[in-house]
């Protein structure tokens, strides 16, 4: 929760520096990979995602995961987690309790009308791809391969998709979902940083009718950076998924066998980012920019557009 803020007196420009943001995104890569590996230790357990499957036990109409998210986020809300601009609960904020401790005062890092616009929050899409694509992929049981549970024992041989570890699996689900959500919504900070560096580049596309979302995406997208990211993720997944012998030496494991040995399929990590994290982050970044001028006085917009040129570049106002 805002752990990328260096100290209480940090300047907004320093916090929003792309290099500072990049460091946080790389740290989140590590967190997400480890959490996905942890979730992969358990079976799919599709029952925990079924609406009403545990209504009799807990009097809750949603799924076991929905209930777990709600109860976890209620506690987090009391601890003021969602007063932080880089945290977004899956539970509607109006259904969560107020903090029981005094909220911290953060510098104004984001343009509030854009950051709080409903279209910028994509948690419902994150939950959908996580439940329907990521979990089935990382817990898939190859033909003829026993599914092993977290303690190393062979899971239910009658139904290898269900090992009965509903509480443990849901705990890992919540942790992974919250980390993935934070990573994707961090895109708002990227957009704000790039907008402030050259507002005149973005403003015409924002004011177009309708807003030129393709042009806005082009201003924030770097295909070469995305390509390097996927390579880095694959390498990290190999390292984090490796095993060591009693002497601490790495035991080489082919990529295709990482999942079979209770770790993670490297391709699943790459696919997670390539097919979901990167596209959804881009949607968040663009939607934030579309609403970046909401409530901004025309005088300020004119100043941004008429900013004095310095060394061929416009300075920010």
Give the tens place of pLDDT for each residue, 264-317.
889 999 999 999 999 999 999 999 999 999 999 999 999 999 874 443 343 332
* H helix intervals, 41-165: 55-58, 64-78, 112-115, 123-129, 135-138
pLDDT > 90? residue 33: yes
Query: Is 2 a domain residue?
Result: no
pTM exceeds 0.85 for this model: yes
pLDDT > 70? residue 259: no
Contact criterion met (CB below 8 Å) for 284 and 184: yes
Predicted pLDDT of residue 195: 97
pLDDT > 80? residue 257: no
Beta partners for 251? Answer: 243
CB contact set of 132 (below 8 Å; sequence gap of 6+): none
Task: Give whole-number Cα distances, 235 to 64, 188, 226, 238, 266, in Å.
Answer: 34, 27, 14, 5, 8
Point out the least confidently predicted range of 80-89, 135-144, 253-262, 274-283: 253-262
Predicted pLDDT of residue 154: 43
Residue 103 region by backbone torsions, left for phi larger than 0, else alpha for psi between -120 and 50, else beta: beta
Query: Is 4 a domain residue?
Result: no
State percent of the chain over pLDDT 70: 85
Write b or e for each residue in 162-186: b if 16 or more Cβ atoms lie within 10 A of its Cβ, otherwise e. Answer: bbebbebbbbbbbbbbbbbbbbbbb
**Confidence at 255, pLDDT banded by 50, 70, 90:** low
Query: Is 94 a domain residue?
Result: yes
Mean pLDDT (the chain) is 88
Residue 148's closest CA among 267, 268, 261?
A: 261
State percent of the chain over pLDDT 90: 69
What does residue 103 show for φ and ψ, rounded to 5 degrees?
A: -60, 150
If one counts the domains in the chain, the total is 1
Percentage helix, strand, coil for the chain under 3-state DSSP, each rounded to 5: 55, 5, 40
**Which residue did the predictor score with more confidence, 108 or 160?**
108
pLDDT > 70? residue 146: no
Average pLDDT over residues 246-257: 77
Query: Is 16 a domain residue?
Result: yes
pLDDT > 50? residue 44: yes
**Which residue did the predictor score with more confidence, 266 or 150?**
266
Predicted pLDDT of residue 272: 98
**Which residue did the predictor score with more confidence, 131 or 54?**
131
| Domain span including residue 204 | 12-314
Predicted pLDDT of residue 310: 42
Point out the least confidently predicted range of 58-62, 172-176, 215-219: 58-62
Query: Is 238 a domain residue?
Result: yes
Query: Is 3 a domain residue?
Result: no
Predicted pLDDT of residue 308: 40
Rounded distance between C-alpha atoms, residue 147 and residue 144, angstroms: 9
Query: Is 257 a domain residue?
Result: yes
Query: Is 188 a domain residue?
Result: yes
Residue 4 has what DSSP assignment? T
214-217: Cβ within 8 A, 24+ apart: 216/286, 216/289, 216/290, 217/282, 217/285, 217/286
Rounded distance between C-alpha atoms, residue 243 and residue 263, angstroms: 9
**Which residue did the predictor score with more confidence, 140 or 191?**
191
Question: Per residue in 72-109, pLDDT tens?
Answer: 999 999 999 999 999 999 999 999 999 999 888 888 89
Which CATH number characterizes residue 110's domain? 1.10.590.10
């Amino acid at each position: 929760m805002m752990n990328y803020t260096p100290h209480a007196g940090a300047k907004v420009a320093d916090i929003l520096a792309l290099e500072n943001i990049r460091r946080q995104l790389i740290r989140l890569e590590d967190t997400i990979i480890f959490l996905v590996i942890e979730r992969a230790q358990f079976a799919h357990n599709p029952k925990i995602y079924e609406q009403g499957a545990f209504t009799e036990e807990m009097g809750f109409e949603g799924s076991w995961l929905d209930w777990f998210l709600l109860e976890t986020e209620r506690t987090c809300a009391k601890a003021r987690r969602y007063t932080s601009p880089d945290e977004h609960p899956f539970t509607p904020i109006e259904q969560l309790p107020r903090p029981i401790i005094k909220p911290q005062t953060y510098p104004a890092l984001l343009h509030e009308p854009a950051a709080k616009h409903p279209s910028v929050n994509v948690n419902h899409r994150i939950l959908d791809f996580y439940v329907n694509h990521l979990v089935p992929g990382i817990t898939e049981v190859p033909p003829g391969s026993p599914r092993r549970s977290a303690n190393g024992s062979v899971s239910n041989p009658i139904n290898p998709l269900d090992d009965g570890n509903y509480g443990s699996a849901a705990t890992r689900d919540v942790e992974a979902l919250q980390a993935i959500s934070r990573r994707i919504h961090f895109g708002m900070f990227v957009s704000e940083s790039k907008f402030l560096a050259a507002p005149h580049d973005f403003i015409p596309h924002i004011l177009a009718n309708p807003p030129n979302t393709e042009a806005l995406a082009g201003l924030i997208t770097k295909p070469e950076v995305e390509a390097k990211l996927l390579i880095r993720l694959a390498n990290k997944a190999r390292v984090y998924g490796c095993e060591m012998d009693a002497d601490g030496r790495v035991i080489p494991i082919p990529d295709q066998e990482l999942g079979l040995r209770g770790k993670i399929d490297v391709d699943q990590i790459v696919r997670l980012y390539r097919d979901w994290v990167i596209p959804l982050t881009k949607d968040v970044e663009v939607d934030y920019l579309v609403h970046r001028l909401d409530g901004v006085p025309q005088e300020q917009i004119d100043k941004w557009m008429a900013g004095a040129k310095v060394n061929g570049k416009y300075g920010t106002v």
